[in-house]
């Protein structure tokens, strides 16, 4: 349910960006969410729908891009995209890995007129 | 129709306040620990033991608290959806405590903690424990300015929790595996739980403990001493 706080933060960026670019209506948002971001897309859409009422982004469509977790092995440098949350290198089996991608949570772009 | 590239982190505002909290704590020489767990996993009881250990002289008169390294001055921020029950429990130890009621909010954020810091005597503290709202999901995304996240997991929650809620167990530096006294009553395989946890985070320090009996807590104090002791090392 922290999606509501995330929606409010999103809305702050959206209204600020819209004002900077003289948009009177924002019809779409592209949001990038890592698998470790603990964000449920449906919950975020619902929260944004509620938070956005009466704003420049009322009724805007959310495109939520989910990024899987990618790790780099600190032993053999191989990169592995994780299908589950077993943090290990599929090349050499080492568990000494660094997360490269999967923690993202950002607004990529907006569309409007 | 215009498309505008933004690329701005959604929690950037929170992270900026968290950095300012961290700077402020560092200026006062305070080390902060963010305790995250499900409701009822034993965060407050762990804190009570910790306060007992660090702030009260031992009854047998052993002179454990003369050196600063073992007599840490501790403050507490208690986060809960409602009530001040946890703060009242902590107050009995005579340490500075601030209760944050989130009024339905599922996590503490850096701004709430910044306001709580205003009410704490930071110059008189060495360590600050921030007890987050009981929740394995939402608090994980919010930095508060802490130097480490402490995960508390009770074995009664089941051995699959680290695999199901990996973000917390990735972010945590240490996990206190609590309520081990309940093992005979729960269908939980502790070895399997540890193995599942290791898959999520091989570097995570795991402390086996029971806050009810006090078993295993020496390893927790040793971990804290190591973290707190490094400042003056």
Query: Residue ranges of the domains in chain B?
Result: 13-58+67-228
With CA atoms as reference, report the closest residue to B143 among B11, B42, B27: B11
Q: Is the distance from CB of B47 to CB of B99 less than 8 angstroms?
A: no
CA B7 to chain centre: 32
Among residues 50-69 of chain A, which lie with CB inside 8 Å of chain B? Answer: none
Cα of B222 to nearest chain A Cα, Å: 24
Looking at this predicted complex, what is its ipTM? 0.84
Q: Which residues of B touch A109 (CB under 8 A)?
A: 3-7
Does A83 contact B at CB distance below 8 Å? Answer: no
Q: Is the distance from CB of B37 to CB of B153 less than 8 angstroms?
A: yes
Q: Which residues of A touch B4 (CB under 8 A)?
A: 17, 21, 23, 109-112
**B67: exposed, middle or buried (Cβ count in 10 Å: 0-12, 13-18, 19+):** exposed
Mean pLDDT of B203-213: 97
Alpha-carbon distance A81 to A66, whole Å?
13
Mark yes or no for CB contact A112/B2 under 8 Å. Answer: yes
Mean pLDDT of B72-79: 93
> Which pLDDT tens digit goes with each residue over B7-62?
999 988 899 999 999 999 999 999 999 999 999 999 999 999 999 998 865 444 44
Mark yes or no for CB contact B9/A105 under 8 Å. Answer: yes
Q: Is the distance from CB of B165 to CB of B133 less than 8 angstroms?
A: no
The encoded tokens of residue B166 equal 């990996």
With CA atoms as reference, report the closest residue to B207 among B186, B172, B176, B182: B176
With CA atoms as reference, report the closest residue to B152 among B61, B33, B67: B33
Strand partners for A29: A62, A110
Mark yes or no for CB contact B167/A38 under 8 Å. Answer: yes
Q: Which residues of B touch A44 (CB under 8 A)?
A: none
With CA atoms as reference, report the closest residue to B150 among B26, B75, B42: B42
pLDDT score at A85: 87
pLDDT score at B229: 79
State yes or no: pLDDT of B64 exceeds 50.
no
| Residue indicated by tokens 């992270």 | B15
Cα of A52 to nearest chain B Cα, Å: 15
Mark yes or no for CB contact A87/B170 under 8 Å. Answer: yes
Q: Which of A3, A4, A5, A40 to mutate to test the interface with B (most CBs of B within 10 A)?
A: A5
Which of B3, B10, B140 lies nearest to residue A9, judging by beta carbons?
A: B10
Cα separation values, A104 from A68, A99, A101, B118, Å: 10, 11, 7, 31
Q: Is the distance from CB of A111 to CB of B1 less than 8 angstroms?
A: yes
* Share of residues in chain B with pLDDT > 70 (%): 92
Class of domain B13-58+67-228: alpha beta
Q: Is the distance from CB of A110 to CB of B146 less than 8 angstroms?
A: no
Beta strands in chain A (DSSP E): 26-34, 61-67, 70-73, 79-81, 97-101, 105-112
Mark yes or no for CB contact A23/B4 under 8 Å. Answer: yes
First CA to last CA distance, chain A = 31
Q: Which of B4, B165, B199 to mutate to test the interface with A (most CBs of A within 10 A)?
A: B4
Does B59 contact A at CB distance below 8 Å? Answer: no
Alpha-carbon distance A70 to B157, whole Å?
28
CATH number of A3-68+102-112: 3.30.2320.50
Mean pLDDT of B113-125: 96
Alpha-carbon distance A66 to A92, whole Å?
27
Q: Which of A31, A87, A103 to mutate to test the interface with B (most CBs of B within 10 A)?
A: A87
pLDDT score at A44: 94
Max Cα distance, chain A (Å): 54
Q: Is the distance from CB of B231 to CB of B73 less than 8 angstroms?
A: no
First CA to last CA distance, chain B = 60
């Amino acid at each position: 349910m922290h999606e509501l706080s995330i929606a409010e933060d999103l809305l702050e960026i959206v209204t600020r960006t819209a004002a900077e670019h003289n948009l009177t209506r924002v019809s779409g948002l592209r949001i990038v969410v890592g698998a470790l971001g603990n964000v449920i897309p449906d919950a975020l859409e619902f929260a944004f729908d509620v938070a956005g009422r009466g704003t420049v982004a009322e009724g805007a469509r959310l495109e939520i891009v989910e990024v899987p977790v990618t790790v780099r092995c600190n032993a053999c440098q191989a990169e592995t995209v994780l299908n589950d949350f077993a943090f290990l290198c599929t090349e050499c089996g080492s568990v000494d890995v660094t997360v490269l991608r999967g923690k993202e949570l950002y607004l990529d772009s907006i569309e409007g007129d | 129709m215009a498309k505008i590239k933004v690329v701005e982190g959604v929690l950037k505002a929170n992270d900026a306040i968290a950095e300012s909290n961290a700077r402020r704590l560092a200026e006062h020489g305070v080390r902060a620990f963010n305790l995250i767990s499900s409701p009822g996993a034993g965060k407050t009881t762990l804190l009570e033991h910790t306060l007992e250990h660090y702030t009260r002289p031992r009854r047998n008169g052993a002179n454990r608290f003369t050196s600063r390294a073992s007599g840490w001055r501790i403050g507490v921020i208690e986060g809960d959806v409602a009530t001040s029950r946890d703060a009242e429990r902590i107050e009995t130890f005579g340490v500075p405590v601030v209760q944050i009621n989130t009024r339905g909010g599922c996590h503490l954020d850096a701004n709430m903690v910044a306001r709580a810091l205003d009410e704490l005597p930071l110059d008189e503290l060495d360590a600050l424990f921030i007890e987050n709202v009981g929740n394995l999901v939402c608090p994980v995304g919010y930095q508060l300015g802490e130097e480490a996240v402490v995960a508390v997991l009770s074995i009664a929650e089941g051995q699959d929790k680290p695999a199901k809620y990996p973000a917390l167990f990735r972010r945590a530096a240490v996990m206190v595996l609590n309520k081990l006294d309940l093992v005979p009553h729960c269908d939980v395989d502790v070895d399997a739980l540890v193995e599942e946890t290791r898959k999520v985070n091989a570097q995570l320090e795991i402390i086996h403990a029971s806050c009810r009996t006090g078993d295993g807590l020496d390893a927790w104090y040793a971990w804290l001493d190591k973290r707190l002791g490094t400042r003056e090392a």
